[in-house]
């Protein structure tokens, strides 16, 4: 592919040009690569303009510079590229375009266990994500209600409880559930269906007679008034152990069932599996909101310059256009590279970034930012800021919103996802600087808890992150001040020179005006598909 780059840059030799012609005639993959690069190159050429001006004035130059060419080669390069493009277009017209492929290998979910939520009784651990005619003892749990540790009795109807770890429990009345943490619950009485995904860090579901510690399984439980427990395995496998006699544990496979007391467990074949006795899923809940989001896939450029917004929302599409910071390296550039899905962008850390007319999510509104990121292991601290940012710069009162990786080796895990909000921040637990693609998500629940770490969730590769550091600051993102800035991709809001611009690869950026559920986060990670509805988040 170096010969294609040399052709477009005007540095190709006659011998290299002949070899490139032969390659394009025989290699379909090379023809597709050339067509993409020639199209992108032509659009970026149109973006060239006089030298950069201050960011407070309209941008006049693209940060995608073309290297200076020797004068005698400009015409040669243009003519050769035009001739080759015509030939490639003819070949492509007779060939079916290959289906999109995921270029980068998916990383396995991290093995580090999250522990931060297990001992914090003041932090919400779950949310009511569905309900039908639900009536609760001692008060009302509405759709979207955030649930802190405690005991909840469902008197009538049905309810779905989704834990921050990703575990999901569907309760059928009458039932009593005790929420211990994001990783632990106990069904005191009644029946439920539990879905424990493979990324939920071995969620524990207990009853008076047993404790099930598993993941990647789905099972139904019925607890009688005396505490005796029926277990029916719908998929996967679980280990069932009487609480007072752990020496007689039994493995239950899919479509097997057992009955337990505190000291005993039924033998294989003594109890029939019966799926029909349990409610597994609920219909899409009433009271959910229509899905809207901003989305940059970076798979193509607009004829008007920049990367088009492919999201679903009311109003005009919001282009992400290439710019560069004042006084930056004249060769600063954003490059189109292979991504996790189709194409991605590579930011070189020398001043190039993208700017959009999208103002961001204001005030205390809930929000979710989702993207793929790849950072080299040797990425230095000066290139931590920012993957995305908007709001009021130089603010220490919660009026900006910024997502980066943590550059502070003395305050939380270095290299981990970090959400900042003007004087406050929350830091995750996984160092992203390993040269692999990672899916990262920052969720703000829209509540200003006394401890702000209670209101922000981070997910890496679909899995809930532990909080390794945080600083409290009430959030009120300012979009209305004259100094407020719209969405930047690849730079921080401030011009103080403390940090350079972001260095790394970014792909599939989505911004949602809602707090996505863990299952919706997992859907983005596994399938790159947005949710079909929003569940509110209320205290």
Per residue, the 3-state secondary structure of 195-237, as one string, reads EECCCCCCEEEECCCEEEEECCEEEEEEECCCCCEEEEEEECC
State how far the Cα of 325 lies from the Cα of 385, in Å rounded to an integer: 13
Question: Final residue of a domain: which of 61, 93, 125?
Answer: 93
Q: Which residues contact 179 (CB under 8 A, 6 or more apart)?
A: 125, 126, 147, 148, 149, 150, 151, 152, 161, 163, 185
Q: Do residues 394 and 433 lie in contact, with contact meaning Cβ atoms separated by under 8 Å?
A: no
Number of H helices, E strands in the chain: 5, 28
- Helix, coil or strand: residue 449: coil
The share of the chain scoring above pLDDT 70, in percent, equals 78
**Pair (262, 310) in one structural domain:** no
**Pair (217, 301) in one structural domain:** no
Number of domains in the chain: 3
State how far the Cα of 83 lies from the Cα of 172, in Å rounded to an integer: 69
Higher-pLDDT residue of 485 and 79 is 485
Does 174 sit behind a cis peptide bond, omega within 30 degrees of 0 on the bond before it?
yes
Question: Final residue of a domain: which of 60, 93, 126?
Answer: 93
The share of the chain scoring above pLDDT 90, in percent, equals 57
Using alpha carbons, list the distances in angstroms from residue 509 to 371, 470, 512.
4, 24, 10
236 sits in the region (left: phi over 0; alpha: psi -120 to 50; else beta) called left
Residue 408: inside a domain, yes or no? Answer: yes
Residue 100: inside a domain, yes or no? Answer: no
**Pair (160, 211) in one structural domain:** yes
Residue 244: inside a domain, yes or no? Answer: yes
Query: What's phi and psi for 319, nearest 5 deg?
Result: -65, 145
Instruction: For residue range 369-379, list pLDDT tens digits in order.
Output: 999 999 999 99
Task: Please count the other Cβ atoms lying within 10 Å of the Cβ belonging to residue 539.
Answer: 13
State how far the Cα of 413 lies from the Cα of 427, in Å rounded to an integer: 7
Q: Which residues contact 342 (CB under 8 A, 6 or more apart)?
A: 100, 103, 297, 298, 299
Which domain, by its residues, includes 486? 294-527
Instruction: For residue range 51-104, list pLDDT tens digits in order.
Output: 333 333 333 222 212 222 233 332 333 334 434 433 333 332 333 333 333 433
CA–centroid distance for 100 within its chain:
20
- Which has the closest alpha carbon to 445: 434, 456, 453? 456
Look at residue 440 and tell me whether its pLDDT is greater than 70.
yes
Could you say which DSSP state residue 378 is in?
A: T
**Pair (298, 210) in one structural domain:** no
**Pair (403, 467) in one structural domain:** yes
Average pLDDT value for residue range 238-255: 90
State how far the Cα of 223 lies from the Cα of 204, in Å rounded to an integer: 16
Confidence bin at 1 (pLDDT 50/70/90): low
Supply the pLDDT for residue 94: 33
Using alpha carbons, list the distances in angstroms from residue 97 to 36, 89, 322, 472.
12, 12, 28, 51
State how far the Cα of 402 lies from the Cα of 490, in Å rounded to an integer: 11
**Pair (193, 338) in one structural domain:** no
Instruction: For residue range 396-431, list pLDDT tens digits in order.
Output: 889 999 999 999 888 899 999 999 998 899 999 999
Average pLDDT value for residue range 25-33: 58
Look at residue 116 and tell me whether its pLDDT is greater than 70.
no
Supply the pLDDT for residue 21: 67
Residue 51: inside a domain, yes or no? Answer: yes
State how far the Cα of 172 lies from the Cα of 409, in Å rounded to an integer: 48
Residue 537: inside a domain, yes or no? Answer: no
- Which has the closest alpha carbon to 478: 398, 368, 373, 374? 398
Whole-model pTM?
A: 0.77
Average pLDDT value for residue range 495-522: 92
- Which has the closest alpha carbon to 40: 69, 64, 63? 64
Look at residue 299 and tell me whether its pLDDT is greater than 60.
yes
Average pLDDT value for residue range 510-515: 96
Higher-pLDDT residue of 67 and 148 is 148
- Helix, coil or strand: residue 454: helix
């Amino acid at each position: 592919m170096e010969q294609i780059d040399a052709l477009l840059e005007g540095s190709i030799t006659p011998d290299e040009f002949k070899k490139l012609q032969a390659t394009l005639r025989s290699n379909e993959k090379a023809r597709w690569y050339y067509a993409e690069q020639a199209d992108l190159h032509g659009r970026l050429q149109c973006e060239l303009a006089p030298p950069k001006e201050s960011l407070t004035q309209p941008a006049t130059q693209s940060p995608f510079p073309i290297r200076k060419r020797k004068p005698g080669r400009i015409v040669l390069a243009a003519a050769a590229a035009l001739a080759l493009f015509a030939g490639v277009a003819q070949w492509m017209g007779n060939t079916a375009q290959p289906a999109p492929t995921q270029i980068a290998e998916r990383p396995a979910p991290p093995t580090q266990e999250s522990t931060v939520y297990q001992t914090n009784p003041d932090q919400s651990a779950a949310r009511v994500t569905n309900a039908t005619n639900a009536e609760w003892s001692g008060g009302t749990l509405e759709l979207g209600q955030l649930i802190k540790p405690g005991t909840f009795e469902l008197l009538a109807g049905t309810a779905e409880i989704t834990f921050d770890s990703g575990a999901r429990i569907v309760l059928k009345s009458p039932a009593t559930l005790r929420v211990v943490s994001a990783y632990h619950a106990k069904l005191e009485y009644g029946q439920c269906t539990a879905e424990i995904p493979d990324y939920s860090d071995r969620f524990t579901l207990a009853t008076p007679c047993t404790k099930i510690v598993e993941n990647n399984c789905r099972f139904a439980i019925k607890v009688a008034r005396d505490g005796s427990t029926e277990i029916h395995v719908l998929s996967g496998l679980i280990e069932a152990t009487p609480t007072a006699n752990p020496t007689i544990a039994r493995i239950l496979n899919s479509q097997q069932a057992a009955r337990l007391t505190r000291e005993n467990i039924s033998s294989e074949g003594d109890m029939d599996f019966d799926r029909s006795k349990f409610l597994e899923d609920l219909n899409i809940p009433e009271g959910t909101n229509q899905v809207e989001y901003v989305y940059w896939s970076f798979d193509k450029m607009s004829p008007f310059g920049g990367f088009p917004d492919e999201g679903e929302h009311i109003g005009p599409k919001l282009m992400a256009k290439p710019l560069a910071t004042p006084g930056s390296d004249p060769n600063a550039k954003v490059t189109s590279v292979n991504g996790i899905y189709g194409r991605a962008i590579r930011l070189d850390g020398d001043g190039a970034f993208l700017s959009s007319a999208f103002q961001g999510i204001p005030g205390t509104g809930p929000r979710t930012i989702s993207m793929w990121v790849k950072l080299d292991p040797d990425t230095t601290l000066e290139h931590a800021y920012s993957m995305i940012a908007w709001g009021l710069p130089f603010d220490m009162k919660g009026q900006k919103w910024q997502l980066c990786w943590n550059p502070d080796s003395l305050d939380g895990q270095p290299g981990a996802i970090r959400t900042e909000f003007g004087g406050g921040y929350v830091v995750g637990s996984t160092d992203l600087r390993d040269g692999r693609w990672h899916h990262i998500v920052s969720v703000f629940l829209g509540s200003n808890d006394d401890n702000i770490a209670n209101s922000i969730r981070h997910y890496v590769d679909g899995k809930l992150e532990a909080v390794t550091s945080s600083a409290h600051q009430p959030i009120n993102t300012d979009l209305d001040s004259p100094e407020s800035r719209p969405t930047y991709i690849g730079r921080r809001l401030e011009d103080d020179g403390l940090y350079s611009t972001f260095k790394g690869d970014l792909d599939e950026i989505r911004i949602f005006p809602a707090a996505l559920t863990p299952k919706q986060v997992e859907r983005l990670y596994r399938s790159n598909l947005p949710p079909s509805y929003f569940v509110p988040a209320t205290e």
